[in-house]
Structure 1
Amino acid sequence: MTGTIAEVAFPADEFALGKTLDALDTVRFDIEQVVAYNRNQFMPFVWAGTDDRLGVETAFEADESVRDFQLIGGFETESLYRLEWIKDIELLTQILVEENGTVLTASGKDDTWYLQLLFSEHDAVTRTHEYCRCRGIDLDLQNIHEFSKGRTERYGLTESQRRTLQLAYNTGYYSVPRNASATDLADSLGVTHQSISEKLRRGHSNLVRNTLALNE
């Protein structure tokens, strides 16, 4: 049996933090982890990408989907909160409880949530989509692909790109000051300087596209 990854989008007012996203339309929220305490109660850990902590907490207090929140850590440009949602999140119940799925990534901005979901089987995606259709949940299924080649596939990397990036990290190519040059990497792998440059650029592009830019 092969796992399946589904990338979906849906309106925030059909999920959670609808008023918060509307009030803070330039702020991006990333769910770090969702803890299910029982079938209908979920407590997510959410990153708020802004230095306006007061604005975030004021929005949480006014958001009818938030029962309570706790600041876990505050940093210069982002803060981590644990939230308790007051409403029954039907979609999470279907994904996490009924289909034994996992939320790999979840980001909210403007009025939309973007989720990357992992299911143990392809039919679970079909059932989840049908569940949403029957209940009027506007789930936009943007992409589906099989989870079959280990961790590198999740980030869109080829095996060659993964080895090159790993070598670059291990040898200090990304250190400040730099401890290894592209020429050093090329010599270690027995390839040309141009080949290393292309692998690094394409590897970086794939990493950014499949992590930071996935939900933009």
Structure 2
Amino acid sequence: MTTVVELEIPAAQFGLSETFERVPTFEFRIGGMIGDAPPLVWVSGADRAAVESALEDDASVEVIARLTDAGGGRWLYRLAFGQTVKLFQQLVSENAGAILEASGRDGTWSLTLLFHDREALSVAHGLFERYEFGATVTRVATMDGACGEGSPLTKTQYETVVTAYELGYFDVPRKVTLKELAAELDVSHQALSERLRRSHAALVNAELSSRMAPTEIDP
């Protein structure tokens, strides 16, 4: 049964703690952390120069590119995170999971993870404890399948996400490319990219809207 879990991790245990300390108003949001490419990160704060200076000096992250100024104190960067975050990504992907969303404020990371089943989640949770990430689970939700009441995914979307898991598309590094996955599913590269994007958006929207009933975790 597909399972979504929300958890919080202190920045001191994970990354960006120096930036949070220097810029108390600093916040960030990542739409998803899939594969090993540095993600796009929306950041905000009271002053862009202060945020950039803090990021440049923070040993847990590397600024790859400065991309967009969206106005209103929000800027888009491509950031490469350190070994702690990479280890966390690896543990998630090795247990049939994916990071749907990550954000941070007030010195704390908030992450939304998707796992193929509850057993995979339990194994990953045990590894989070073993490596002392300091993760606190705040919510767990299950989806009964594509046709189940309350599921945000269509049957096609659900089957696509499951196939992507099974073939290692969400692994770090990926075991199958988007082109190879598209061939397996007999759809075009562009159609598959759009389907995965819509699936991801549906899952995140469902979590933010609290449409899936929470359940207790059994680590």
Corresponding residue SS for 2:38: strand
Tell me: CA distance 1:57–1:143, structure 2 relative to 1, closer, same or farther (3 Å). Answer: same
Which blocks of at least 5 consecutive residues in structure 1 are unaligned?
Answer: 156-206, 212-216
- Looking at structure 2, the residues matched to 18 and 145 of structure 1 have their Cα atoms a distance apart, in angstroms, of 29
Task: Provide Cα deviations, 1:173-193, integer angstroms capped at 9, x if missing partner.
Answer: xxxxxxxxxxxxxxxxxxxxx
Partner SS for 2:59:
coil
What are the residue-to-residue correspondences of 1:104-183 with 2, within 5 Å?
Answer: 104-148=100-144, 153=150
The alpha-carbon deviation at position 27 of structure 1 amounts to 2.5
Structure 2 segments unaligned to the other structure (5+ residues): 153-204, 210-219
TM-score by length of 1: 0.63
Cα gap change, 1:50/1:145 in structure 2, threshold over 3 Å: closer, same or farther? Answer: same
Query: How far apart, CA to CA, are the structure 1 residues paired with 2:46 and 2:151?
Result: 30
Q: Is the CA contact 2:27–2:105 (under 8 Å) kept in the aligned structure 1?
A: yes
Distance 1:62 1:141 in 2: 30
Give the corresponding residue for 1:102: 98
Q: How does 1:34-113 map to 2 (within 5 A)?
A: 34-37=33-36, 43-50=38-45, 52-77=47-72, 78-89=74-85, 90-96=87-93, 98-113=94-109
Structure 1 residue matching 2:119: 3-state secondary structure:
helix
Q: Deviations over 1:136-174 (max 9, x none)?
A: 22110111110236699478xxxxxxxxxxxxxxxxxxx
RMSD, matched Cα: 2.7
Deviation, structure 1 residue 33: 2.9
| TM-score with structure 2 setting the length | 0.62
Alpha-carbon distance change, 153 to 81 in structure 1, aligned in 2, over 3 angstroms: farther
Question: Comparing 115-124 with 11-20, which one deviates more in the overlay?
Answer: 11-20
Of the structure 1 ranges 72-81 and 45-54, higher mean CA displacement relative to structure 2 is found in 45-54
Is 1:15 the counterpart of 2:14? The answer is: yes
Question: How far is the alpha carbon of 1:86 from its aligned partner?
Answer: 3.5
4+ residue runs of structure 1 moved beyond 4 angstroms?
A: 149-155
**Count of paired positions:** 155
Q: Distance in 1 between matches of 2:151 and 2:31?
A: 17
- Contact kept? 2:6, 2:112, Cα under 8 Å: yes
Name the aligned partner's letter for residue 26 of structure 2.
V
The structure whose Rg is larger is 1
Shift in CA distance, 95/110, structure 1 to aligned 2, threshold 3 Å: same
| Aligned partners of 1:33 and 1:46 also within 8 Å | no
- Distance in 1 of aligned mates of 2:16 and 2:107: 9
Q: In structure 1, what is the Cα distance between the partners aligned to 2:59 and 2:104?
A: 17
Q: After TM superposition, give the deviation of residue 52 of structure 1 in Å.
A: 2.4
Aligned to 2:208: 210
The Cα of 1:68 is off from its aligned counterpart by 3.1
Is the Cα contact below 8 Å between 2:33 and 2:101 reproduced in 1? no
Shift in Å, 1:62:
0.9
SS in 2 for 1:4: strand
Q: Take 2:21 and 2:206, find their aligned partners in 1: how far apart are those partners?
A: 26
Structure 1 pair 126/50, CA: closer, same or farther in 2 (3 Å)? same
